[in-house]
Every structure is written in C-alpha cells, then in structure tokens.
C-alpha cells in the first residue's frame, strides 16, 4: 500500500503503513523516521505496532498538507528501503 | 488523564496518553515502553507524536483484555515516572 490521501476531521493528511517482521524492526523504523523528522523540525504521527508502523504527515499549523509533507513522505520511503 | 477503558470495534482496550516537552522525549518514552514490551513478548500500540505518546494495550489473541494488559499498563506508568 502506497501513501493515502486522507481527510481526517477536516484535516488533509498523508498516511502509509509499512510492514516489518516483528516489533523490534518496526520500532527501529520509527526511530529512523524520528531522526529525519528531528533533522527538519517537522514531525509525523508514528503508530508503532507489532510488525507495522503507520506514518502520518500533515502540517499542524495550517491544518492540512504543505509541500514539505510530500517531501517528508518521499524521505520516509527512502528510510524504508 | 489516567488509563481509559475503550471498546474499539468490539475489542476492549486500555489506553493512556502521556505528555512530553517535545518529539525527542516522546520518542525516548516510546523506546522505553518498547523495551518492557520486548521483555515480556507482549506489545502495545504506541502512537508517537510531538509532545505525546498514546499507549494502547490489549491482547490480540483474545481480542480483549487479559490480566497481563493491566500489569503492562502499570509497568508503563512506572516507565513514565
């Protein structure tokens, strides 16, 4: 599954679920995405579960999607490779 | 806010939101809870966002709450101290 464009309570968001073999690998991915988020000062919601991480990007201040969210979604894909 | 007992799509869950000063501290907490989860082989859903982590415990195999979920909720509180 690729990135989905969602309208959640009126706020547009980009969301993708990444699958892993176990909890540990999922959490390692969460940390890698957390690193690129800290680098740019723009932070996603990261739902870490056994074998998967759901990453959601949106721009809180504008309650929607900014160019940066698409850039960060692409960078998240790079991290997942 | 303490632990809430939720019925999500027919599955009973224990959920609590923990607040932090920033994303980094939230992610550090996620990792600490991940560690205690790995220790016992029972894993929550951990939603990491800027300044907060929402922790949800339930027993997947029984689609509800087992004694272990309450034990892990208490251990999560210890980790947050």
* Cα–Cα distance for residue pair A45/A17, rounded to 1 Å: 12
Residue A59's SS3 state is strand
Q: B8-80: which CATH number, 3.40.50.300, 3.30.1360.20, 1.10.260.40, 3.90.1150.10?
A: 3.30.1360.20
Segment (H or E) for A81: none
* Cα–Cα distance for residue pair A41/A21, rounded to 1 Å: 29
Residue A60 has a pLDDT of 86
Segment (H or E) for A38: helix A23-40
Residue spans of chain B under pLDDT 50: none
Could you say which residues from 16 to 35 on chain B have a Cβ atom under 8 Å away from some Cβ of chain A? Answer: 23-24, 27, 30-31, 34
Please name the residues in contact with A20: beta carbons below 8 A apart, sequence gap of 6 or more. Answer: A26, A29, A51, A52, A53
Q: How distant is the Cα of B13 from the closest Cα of chain A, in angstroms?
A: 14
Residue A72 has a pLDDT of 97
Q: Are A1 and A17 in contact (CB under 8 A)?
A: yes
- Whether B50 contacts chain A with CB within 8 A: yes
Segment (H or E) for B8: strand B4-8
Q: Where are the domains of chain B?
A: 8-80
Residue B1 has a pLDDT of 62
Strands B52-57 and B11-19, by their bridges, are antiparallel
Q: Are B58 and B14 in contact (CB under 8 A)?
A: yes
pLDDT in tens, chain A (81 residues): 699 999 999 999 999 999 999 999 999 999 999 999 999 999 999 999 999 999 999 998 888 999 999 999 999 999 998
Size of interface A-B (CB pairs under 8 A): 48
- Please provide the size of chain B in residues: 81
Residue A73 has a pLDDT of 97
Residue A1 has a pLDDT of 62
Q: What is the DSSP letter of B21?
A: S
CATH superfamily membership of A4-80: Transcriptional coactivator/pterin dehydratase (3.30.1360.20)
- Whether B70 contacts chain A with CB within 8 A: no
């Amino acid at each position: 599954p690729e990135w989905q464009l969602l309208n959640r309570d009126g706020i547009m968001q980009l969301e993708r679920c990444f699958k892993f073999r176990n909890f540990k690998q999922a959490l390692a991915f969460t940390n890698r995405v957390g690193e690129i988020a800290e680098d740019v000062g723009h932070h996603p919601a990261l739902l870490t579960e056994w074998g998967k991480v759901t990453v959601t990007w949106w721009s809180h201040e504008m309650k929607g999607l900014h160019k940066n969210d698409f850039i960060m979604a692409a960078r998240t894909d790079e991290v997942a490779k």
